Amino acid sequence: MDLKQLEKILETNGSNVFQLVKIEDYRKSNETSYPIKSVELLVDLESCLPYIFPGDMADSKYGGELSTVVVDTIENFYSKFDAIGIQPIIFVGNYKQKFNRHDWTQRQYVAVDKVNKVMNLVRINAKPVPNSGQGMMSAELVHSVISFCRLNDWTIVQSLTDTKTEMITYARKHNTFGILGDDIDFCIANAARNYFSIEQLCLETMTTRLYDAPSLAKHLQLDVNQLPLFATLMGNDRMEKEIIKTFHDDILKKGSGGAFVKNIASLCKPVTCNAKGEPLDNIQVMNLSKQITQGSLSCPTKVSNLIMDSIASYEKYYVGEEFLTNRLDITPEKRDMINLALTLYRQCWITSDLLQLLFVREMQMDTCMEMFNKDGIKPIGDVLARLRKVLYGAAFNSDQNTVISEYVITSDKCLDKGVPTVTPAKLDSVQKLYDVWKTYFIPDNYGHTVCKAWESLTEFVLMDNRKLFYKASTQKMTYFVTLFAQSCDLKPCVVEKLIASLPDLPPKVLVPIFAFLYLDHEPGAFLSTMERHSVLFTFSLVSLLDSNQVKKFLNLNKKAESVELIRATNLFMKTSQLIVNLNALCGFSLGSNSTTHNLLNDLNCHNNWQGSIAQQFYHYFSEGNKQPLDLFNSLCSILKHTVNSGFFPRRQSSFSHESILYKFVNMMNCWTQLELFDELMTKAVQDMLKTVSTDPDHKYKR
């Protein structure tokens, strides 16, 4: 239920229900009653942003690139709470709505007058931002704020389920000092000791409204135990508007505003509820459900059950129950495994493009909570089969070490046969993590490991299958984990655990670790135009697609309005960033030879490629007048020089060979066929393809 809307109704009718308080006074009172080291205030970031950033400074949706405003505003916000001894804990959700994607991707602010005004002011009176990585921020404000908070080592909690659910769970578990937000459910659920309004917050005086259940109940002439029922009849996340619309329309005929609220409360008054908010008389609940369904097609029995579920939701806030795993009749061990899979699935579903490619309908917040409802959703096995690599990497990024370290979902596709529909559910391919390591890490007589498990991230992408020397691979793995830790903000104890495990980590685990690195580092981030071009270029450079795989990709529907094509393209764009991590930044050789004799050439080739290409990308990002065509020509020049320098030596053989330049240009040509570049860029790529196709140095018979 929208607290702002309810409060506005109450105050419009002259009712000052909630008192204005000084937060510092409550903090001092907290120290006396609850002597603990830190006083934590949980902040629902997405609901608070419109109030933290005033309308004349930045738009809450489109203002993310105004880095100076972001830095100054957030620093001021934190400093005010720090001055009175309170530590804000930022909670942020995973879900990003898709309807503004075009604006985020293309950075088109033409229709946003507020942002145009701010942008013009910034250009005139620009305040330089220190060279500390704060100048480049993502398009949406919430991710800009998260990036800046991480730079300052401020605590960020990435919600795996519903943000509100996790905040309430955390607050109850830790007896938290307070919550800052705008949802009355926090007040009714009685989560933290204090619930403060973000809308009424004044940072100058550090005062705001204190929302408490007793005050609300007193005004409504109800008992505190009746508030969950009141919230349910008013409409909340579970009792949706579509179900109670007819019911509300009938009550509105008797009066709107304050009269409407009082009429809802009057229906709750005769219902006696226990301490958990549950009505003691089921007949009264059924009567209410009949009144709600009168004149609609809803079933009274189902609505009655929905009322009870809604009321129970204010008392039972456990993340595990949101996944409905408690309803599966399976052994505790297998339930732990399912909990792991679902938790990691939720952690990975921030890659909305990948998941929307897998699901048959638009991704919504409750989709993941209905995973065992097979209607309209592809089997969970189809999802987990594609995310199995991520499961390995994500297993290290959790406090639940005892559970996660015991069982994993292997590459045999657990649940691949579909969602369990019978009890007890039968789950295949559950193995101990140690057994997986032992099976896939078998040093041979030469002291190196055969990378049999380098499977593709998708069916279109192939991974390197070369041999890695044992001593070198250990050092390389340490480098991997260091990057992984920096990007994912892993706890030191988790990093130590990973590094200690490196000698026994098979290559099978390395790919998922870095898949997770990408998936979790920038949750829901969308690409700017420059980033988009760079990603396409990079994916083409790596050139992991053979001709048959390219044909599969090109067979997708090419119509501009094709949702499948858009999703597939986005999937490839995101996949390419993973490939960048693996090949360009993490030390993998791009050479075509896997023998020991040519190992040195491969490494030299990679070092040259990494340094030269990275430099070109840096110039492209840092110089505003650079165009995609400039980057394309520079990369072609570098790759041509790479071939002529002997990094890809010819070998006598009967099959044809294509240089990396040819592969790059050919892949770029595939993007032009999908109309991902403008006419100028398309012509340049096609001309270059004609040139390299007739050059024996780039396409020739061995």
For the segment 500-509, the average pLDDT, to the nearest whole number, is 45
Task: Among 38-52, 360-374, 618-632, name the most confident range.
Answer: 38-52
Are the CB atoms for 77 and 87 separated by under 8 Å? no
| pLDDT tens-digit map of 651-670 | 334 344 566 677 677 766 75
Which of the two residues, 459 and 206, has the higher pLDDT score? 206
Q: What is the pLDDT of residue 55?
A: 55
For the segment 217-239, the average pLDDT, to the nearest whole number, is 84
Are the CB atoms for 699 and 690 separated by under 8 Å? no
Q: What is the pLDDT of residue 480?
A: 43
Task: Say if residue 253 is exposed, middle or buried (CB neighbours under 10 Å; 0-12, 13-18, 19+).
Answer: exposed
- Cα angle: 140, vertex 142, 148; to 5 degrees: 105
Whether pLDDT at 81 is above 90: yes
CA 196/CA 588 separation, integer angstroms: 51
For the segment 92-97, the average pLDDT, to the nearest whole number, is 53
The secondary structure of 335-361, three-state, reads HHHHHHHHHHHHHHCCCHHHHHHHCCC
- Specify the residue for token string 């949802």: 183
Task: Among 113-122, 198-207, 227-236, 596-605, name the most confident range.
Answer: 198-207
For the segment 327-349, the average pLDDT, to the nearest whole number, is 48
Task: Among 30-39, 205-214, 522-531, 608-617, name the most confident range.
Answer: 205-214
Q: How confident is the model at residue 10 (pLDDT cuts 50, 70, 90)?
A: low
| Mean pLDDT of the residues in the chain | 56
Output the CA torsion sign for 452, 454, 459, 461.
Answer: negative
Output the CA torsion sign for 255, 256, 258, 262.
Answer: positive
Are the CB atoms for 130 and 517 separated by under 8 Å? no
All structural domains of the chain with their residue ranges = 19-211, 218-313, 330-525, 533-573+582-587+597-702
From the CA atom positions of the chain, what is the Rg in Å?
29
Give the percent of the chain with pLDDT over 90.
4
Whether pLDDT at 231 is above 50: yes
Which amino acid would we find at residue 589? Answer: S
Which of the two residues, 119 and 254, has the higher pLDDT score? 254
Which amino acid would we find at residue 39? Answer: V
Assigned CATH class of 19-211: alpha beta
Whether pLDDT at 517 is above 90: no
For the segment 432-439, the average pLDDT, to the nearest whole number, is 36
Give the percent of the chain with pLDDT over 70.
35
Two structure tokens written together for 47: 């609901």
Whether pLDDT at 269 is above 80: yes
Which of the two residues, 323 and 29, has the higher pLDDT score? 29
Q: What is the pLDDT of residue 620?
A: 52
Q: What is the pLDDT of residue 676?
A: 54
Q: How confident is the model at residue 205 (pLDDT cuts 50, 70, 90)?
A: very high
For the segment 248-255, the average pLDDT, to the nearest whole number, is 80
The candidate with the shortest Cα–Cα distance to 508, out of 457, 453, 433, is 453
Q: What is the pLDDT of residue 207?
A: 92
